[in-house]
Amino acid sequence: MGGARNALFVGVSPEFVYVLPQFPFNLLFLPEVYGLEHVIPRGQIRRIVSVPSHLGNEVRVEFNGAAGASNELALRLRQPEQFLHAIGSR
């Protein structure tokens, strides 16, 4: 379990969802230690839900990881609606 504030790039392509640390955080070993680096094939995403929280809207991405293990990312995005729209348009 780990967290980052204003340190991650979150992107959507037709094939993948990317959650990657930005410079200078990608130079350290923190992404590996805290599990902050993910390239998720869109076919492995099981569910995406928007959850209101006291810190703002949170988008939870549930996906199948290595060896079929269930994983979940909780993302607080600046523009969650755009992320959800991009995920919805395959």
CB 18 within 8 A of CB 38: yes
What residues does each domain of the chain span?
A: 8-88
Q: What CATH class does 8-88 carry?
A: mainly beta
**pLDDT band of 79, cuts 50, 70, 90:** confident
The structure's pTM equals 0.77
Main-chain phi, psi angles of 14, to 5 degrees: -60, -25
57 vs 16, residue with greater confidence:
16
- What does the pLDDT average to over 60-77? 88
| Cα separation, 2 vs 5, whole angstroms | 11
